[in-house]
Structure 1
Amino acid sequence: MTPRTVVLADLSSWEAWLHLAGALRREGFDVVRFTRADLGRTQRVLVGMERLVFTQTHPVLRFAGADVDVSPLFAWLDRSADVQMVDAIGAVLTGTGQWDASRRLHRVHVPGIAETAIYDKWIYTQLAAEAGVTVPNSRELTDALPAGQWVLKGRVGSGGDRVRLVSSNQEVQQALRDWDTSASQSFIQSKVGGDLWNVGGVAHEGEVLVAAAYRAFSAPDDPEGPPVDIQIEPKPDQIEATRRFVAALGYSGPFAIDFLDDGVAHLLDFNPRFFGTWAAMQSAGVDLLGAYLSILGRPWTPSTTVIDAARIPSSVTGQDSLGAAWRRGRVLSRRLEPTVGARASAVMRLQALANGRSRRDPGPSVAIAYSEPWLAALQWGGALRHAGVHVARYAVAPLSRLQSLRQAGEGLCFDESHLVLRDFETHIEVTDPAAVVAGHLDVQMTERVLAAIAPTSAWQDNPHLHHVPPNVDEALLYDKDLFVRWAGERGLPVPRQCGLGEQPATFPVIVKPVTGYGGVGVTVCHSAEELAAAIVDLGDKQAVVQEFLPGRQVNVGGVAHEGRVLLAAPYEPLASRSHPTGPPVALRTVDAPEAVDVASAAMRALEYTGPFCLDLVAGADGRMRIVDLNARVFGSWTGLQRAGLDLVGAYLYTLGLGEMPAVRTVRAGDEYDVDADPHDRLSSSLPRVMSDMVAVVGVRGVLCQSAQIVAKHSRG
């Protein structure tokens, strides 16, 4: 008996899958969806809407290193009529023994060609050339890039992912770093001009059952976005090239092929699955669904009535107002409902509204990016939203239910959240650097995130986001060892530090990771044995070994603009009894003009712009020395804000969003709680911390922080 289940596997919401699920459900199939577990907030909403159309939805797919862990799909291979999947999943799944044993699902029917070949751009480009199909001049990467402009491609990717125009070896290496891939997983093609055409169709064992050529049109204000309209036209050269290529593979299933036509049709990309515009083609008379169902065992009579030269709507995206989005959703749902059914049609209208709302200009926007729990981030987000600034958060996908709940609660302080960071213990990976920087006036981030994003071209191409000018090494803002050595070379007071492999002359010493924050990994060592153990505890992280200073600690928090300190105040951080080296739970304002002078000199030398906190400790001689730089918003900022130092106002001034606030003198000797110590009674600590906080971080910020304090006390 032929199975009546079709599995659709993806990594995000996709209109093509929504349309296909609705169409297959109308034909009596069960449609089971697998998608990624770590969806962002917007994606969770969209996928949640789409559950109405699917028989089952399983958000269980995770990345294992650079690849998707496809093991949750294995149990469904024997009981499914077909598995449609995006390229990142297909490239992995078709290389497994489980897929190899499920021959009924195979796409390739020519002996000697692996199933994985249809997802490997390099391999299928060579196969196309062997079949007599014209392709751009394609070469494997060598040590020297040939002269001129070339298109660098990852061997696996879709939707324009891992494609970049390059003209130098430096640009190639930068792209490989951004993609976190190697030269062996990439190749280059000559740049071809002309018009872009697509051919969509369905084939069975190398025979094209139905196909048509079309041109895709993106929204005018989003030229790199998905097509919002298509226009079908007769293109016999592209259709003939398609037949040759499909026959060379012995391919079965739906497909879309991209061609560039400069008088000769060059095959660029092959998509071995249903594609984004398939339902629009279906509505124009290209019976892709009937041909696909015939492969699954349904009878089919080919249709020959195709609308040529008409511009046909294909997507609900690309609308810049709610009214336009509603009208677009209504037109498209009416057109596609005979194919996709009433449920999918209703979801399309809802998603059109959501899309129209999300495309409105949010106004001035600031991003906050962090990989670990960061109280200052949600407080800063709440304060900026309270001041009318749009705030986007970029964070790590939650690893547990508790983390998911925490992130969901923190979401109150942000207008949008995106899970684009991956934490590998020794380093952070930013999976989409361009998304983090796009459209923002500033990005506040922890040191580990800055270390990951600073080398990327997305960051380098946006110098307005940099907190230091081009003549200053940005690594000074996240590399603790580099900064202290740099400061010492410029005559600023710093403690002694040991070089790599060097033993300290005296003990005790401080050991900490070269990139980090919040006191994580900081240890005081009183002997060589303790030092060796502390370095081992840091694992693969580079260690900084610094002279232990016996005097009092004074921090200076403030805001600078192009090296000039706009306002700043010194304070003594008051540590938690449960975590003495961690972030302070309170602060005491102090009179320390020497510390302020040192901080001003450091900011001037860096030519720094933005909020900052400089940590200083007095040596045995009483002189204040710089032990750390936090070139970002810092944990105690709410205490200084309540003390009268308008850090938020000064920050907005640096972004051109307001006048410079009046600079007030902060009275020494006052204490302000900035977080709760779990050792204190909740009934006393919560009111202390939240006193006057609404005026600083807004109601949303107060709710978020209150929830965190309650959770912290419940855990003890």
Structure 2
Amino acid sequence: MPVTPTVVFVEHARQGAFGQLAAALRRRGLRTVHITTARPLWINRLVSRLMYDRSLFIAEDALPTVGKLLEGEDVRDVQHTEYVLERLAQAAPALPAAVGDAIAHRAALLDKFALGQLCADRGVAAPDKIEASRCTPDEAVAALGLPLVVKVKVGASGLGVRIATTARDVHDAVAHLGPVDGLFYERYIAGDYLDYSAVAGPTGALQEVGTRTVAATATAPPSTIETVDELGLTEIGRKAVVELGLTGFIHIDTVRDADGRYWVMDVNLRAWGSMASLRRAGIDFTEGYLAMLGLSDRPPTCVAGPAGVTVTAFTGVVDVQIGRGRVFATLAAYARYAPAHIRRLGLRYGVASLLAALAGVAAAKLTR
């Protein structure tokens, strides 16, 4: 009996984009497996079972054994968060060669300081950086100026990033984010925040879109974006894809400075928060993803999103209210933006995403 192609999702905490992608894949006949190191609370287990075909809650130190846990599955890809990748990479040899190689390559790009240096070496513009372990905060200020960005080497979604406007702020950021071995300083680039997002195969991007930030909270991912047609953004995005050997889902954060030059600020190699919501702009990245995996012979209906479409990221807009612990605001945001996704992804996804939102609010209130 043929085995159903499987996509595996490995995370440390619930990712809205993963649940949306899983629902879309299930509706296309694929199997989905969820592996998480989150607490095995009953609500987490219920949400996981609703969103995925198979659900596994494991300890962090069990991540290197993921290959064994997936024996019998026809694994075609593994989507994962940055925080599980280092240990997950130890399981790469036990996975199908193409899948294991992809995980190993992403692991090699996990360190954001090293990634920035590689960008510079390959001719992809990136801000100057200094490892925090190699100089004092005051020396970093002298070398890179103010404002100064202090970042963790491994992070995502704006976590572990501080923009310091004074020398004292730099000292405070280092003390808060430490230890210094896991930090680096980055020259601050003033300008407009734009993102290049794509799904790519070995020969380059299969689908792509450029977006600018319309609304965001601090250093968190934007909750509202607008699609743009910017040649410079497309050029640096495509160059990064080729020079860094990127495949699969790709989300690149850039800044366009006052001179119109684009700088790569961050690269994330997984499904991203606004991906499903970009269907509003007519681009369904699931199509390119299935083609990249060799599971569809049909070319994507839309390869580049049109400019000028405003998109509110779901579940990002809900997550903003969850973080504030606002029950009614969370439900209002859910009621406004969820229906379009439920129509495409199914009622099962709708129930799971609502339960996830309510669980998030409860958790936020407990930690306030």
CA contact (8 A) 1:107 1:253 kept: no
- The one-letter amino acid of 1:345's match is G
- Structure-1 separation of matches of 2:87 and 2:205: 26
CA contact (8 A) 1:283 1:335 kept: no
- Structure-2 separation of matches of 1:8 and 1:289: 15
- Structure-2 separation of matches of 1:331 and 1:235: 30
- Structure-2 separation of matches of 1:100 and 1:117: 18
Counterpart of 2:283?
286
Matched, 1:341 2:346: yes
Counterpart of 1:29?
30
- Structure-1 separation of matches of 2:113 and 2:210: 24
User: How well do the aligned residues superpose, as a CA RMSD in angstroms?
Assistant: 3.2
Structure 1: runs of 5+ lacking an equivalent:
360-391, 393-414, 419-438, 440-716
1:324 and 1:88, CA in 2 relative to 1: closer, same or farther beyond 3 A?
A: closer
- Structure-2 separation of matches of 1:159 and 1:74: 27
Of residues 163, 166, 182, the one that matches 1:165 is: 163
Counterpart of 1:310?
309
- The one-letter amino acid of 1:15's match is G
The number of equivalent residue pairs is 348
- Shift in Å at residue 49 of structure 1? 2.6
Matched, 1:273 2:270: yes
Matched, 1:55 2:47: no
- Shift in Å at residue 358 of structure 1? 5.5
Matched, 1:251 2:246: yes
- The one-letter amino acid of 2:108's match is A
- Structure-1 separation of matches of 2:347 and 2:266: 33
Question: For 1:426-465, what aligned pairs fall within 5 Å after superposition?
Answer: none
Matched, 1:143 2:143: no
Matched, 1:209 2:209: no
CA contact (8 A) 1:34 1:57 kept: yes
What's the secondary structure of 1:301's corresponding residue?
A: coil
Matched, 1:186 2:183: yes
1:218 and 1:307, CA in 2 relative to 1: closer, same or farther beyond 3 A?
A: same
- Structure-2 separation of matches of 1:237 and 1:37: 40
- Shift in Å at residue 5 of structure 1? 1.4
1:101 and 1:11, CA in 2 relative to 1: closer, same or farther beyond 3 A?
A: closer
Q: Deviations over 1:8-39 (max 9, x none)?
A: 01111221111111111111122111111536
- The one-letter amino acid of 1:105's match is V
Q: Deviations over 1:139-167 (max 9, x none)?
A: 23323423133212222111122222357
Structure 2: runs of 5+ lacking an equivalent:
none
- Shift in Å at residue 118 of structure 1? 2.2
- Shift in Å at residue 225 of structure 1? 4.4
- The one-letter amino acid of 2:21's match is L
- Shift in Å at residue 336 of structure 1? 1.9
Of residues 96, 99, 111, the one that matches 1:105 is: 99
What's the secondary structure of 2:12's corresponding residue?
A: coil
The structure with the largest helix share of the pair is 2
- Structure-1 separation of matches of 2:269 and 2:14: 18
Counterpart of 2:255?
260
Counterpart of 1:241?
236
Q: Deviations over 1:180-235 (max 9, x none)?
A: 5343x33221011111111211011251111101124446xx44444332221112
- Shift in Å at residue 175 of structure 1? 4.6
Higher RCO structure (Cα 8 Å, ≥6 apart): 2
CA contact (8 A) 2:229 2:306 kept: no
- Shift in Å at residue 341 of structure 1? 2.6
What is the TM-score normalised by the length of structure 2?
0.82
- Structure-2 separation of matches of 1:175 and 1:322: 31
- Structure-1 separation of matches of 2:280 and 2:3: 28
1:9 and 1:345, CA in 2 relative to 1: closer, same or farther beyond 3 A?
A: same
Deviates more, 1:154-163 or 1:343-352: 343-352
- Structure-1 separation of matches of 2:334 and 2:280: 15
CA contact (8 A) 1:93 1:99 kept: no
- Structure-1 separation of matches of 2:110 and 2:117: 13
CA contact (8 A) 2:92 2:100 kept: no
What's the secondary structure of 2:109's corresponding residue?
A: helix
Counterpart of 2:84?
89
What is the TM-score normalised by the length of structure 1?
0.44
CA contact (8 A) 2:149 2:164 kept: yes
1:166 and 1:349, CA in 2 relative to 1: closer, same or farther beyond 3 A?
A: closer
- Structure-2 separation of matches of 1:348 and 1:119: 29
- The one-letter amino acid of 1:71's match is P
Counterpart of 2:337?
332
CA contact (8 A) 1:77 1:99 kept: no
- The one-letter amino acid of 2:82's match is D
- Structure-2 separation of matches of 1:229 and 1:241: 23
- Max Rg structure: 1
1:180 and 1:287, CA in 2 relative to 1: closer, same or farther beyond 3 A?
A: same
- Structure-2 separation of matches of 1:197 and 1:101: 35
Counterpart of 1:19?
20
1:312 and 1:169, CA in 2 relative to 1: closer, same or farther beyond 3 A?
A: closer
What's the secondary structure of 1:277's corresponding residue?
A: coil
- The one-letter amino acid of 1:348's match is S
1:81 and 1:295, CA in 2 relative to 1: closer, same or farther beyond 3 A?
A: same
- Shift in Å at residue 272 of structure 1? 0.6
1:14 and 1:20, CA in 2 relative to 1: closer, same or farther beyond 3 A?
A: same
1:345 and 1:190, CA in 2 relative to 1: closer, same or farther beyond 3 A?
A: same
CA contact (8 A) 2:4 2:31 kept: no
Sequence identity (%): 24
1:332 and 1:193, CA in 2 relative to 1: closer, same or farther beyond 3 A?
A: same
Counterpart of 1:4?
5
Question: For 1:168-567, what aligned pairs fall within 5 Å after superposition?
Answer: 175=173, 178-183=176-181, 185-218=182-215, 222-262=217-257, 263-297=260-294, 298-304=296-302, 306-316=305-315, 317=318, 318-319=320-321, 324-352=329-357, 416=366
- Structure-2 separation of matches of 1:273 and 1:115: 10
- The one-letter amino acid of 2:46's match is G
